[in-house]
Amino acid sequence: MFSSGQDPNDPGQGGVPSQRGMPDFNAHFEALRPDAPMPAKVTTTRTLMFFGGVSGMLLSLLFLMGLAAPVDAMNEALDQQSALLAEEGIQMSVDADLMRSMMTVMALVTGLYGGVSLLLGARLSRRTVGVYWGTVVFLGAAGLILLWGALGGEYLMLVPLGFTGWMLANMFSKEGRAYFGLL
């Protein structure tokens, strides 16, 4: 000890030692407490799932609004599009029935994605292993579909694919796994 009674090598300057122990090791175990707040990475994933869910539901409603158009009006619009494309040397062979079936499938896919995303986002605060793995499987499947589209030439799918990869990385982080008791 020095004459001042403080050890210069003591970072606490002689105070009470930290109750947290090793900062990096114990920080992840803090998330295991039942009253622990949701980690920032899981909160980010939850927020992005809410945004994606609402976007999916709104896009589904947009497709459903297109299905409400009369068949005659849809045929007229498709004829106009065919005429414009014919000037460019492109032949379009889509009739109203095919367009309606494509819009139905797109409404179902985007609506299903939006509903599941909203459901899982709302349940992430429950801290169950089932919700964790349900979210990981859902995001993994969405990521594979987006990757398939990006590899098929739809390069705009790289943006949602990046967000999906980021959400998966957040769920697989130490904080995310610890919050759900999977350390």
> How far apart (Å, rounded) are the C-alpha atoms in residues 135 and 141?
10
> How far apart (Å, rounded) are the C-alpha atoms in residues 168 and 180?
14
Q: Indicate if the pLDDT at residue 2 is higher than 60.
A: no
DSSP category for residue 17: P
Which pLDDT belongs to residue 27? Answer: 55
Q: Residue 53's pLDDT band (boundaries 50, 70, 90)?
A: very high
- For the stretch 110-124, pLDDT in tens is 999 999 999 999 999
Q: What pTM, to 2 d.p., does this model score?
A: 0.76
Which pLDDT belongs to residue 33? Answer: 73
Which pLDDT belongs to residue 16? Answer: 54
* pLDDT (average), residues 45-57: 96
Task: Share the mean pLDDT of the chain.
Answer: 86
| Angle (CA) 108 113 31, round 5° | 165
| Alpha-carbon dihedral 177, 178, 182, 183, rounded to 10 degrees | 110
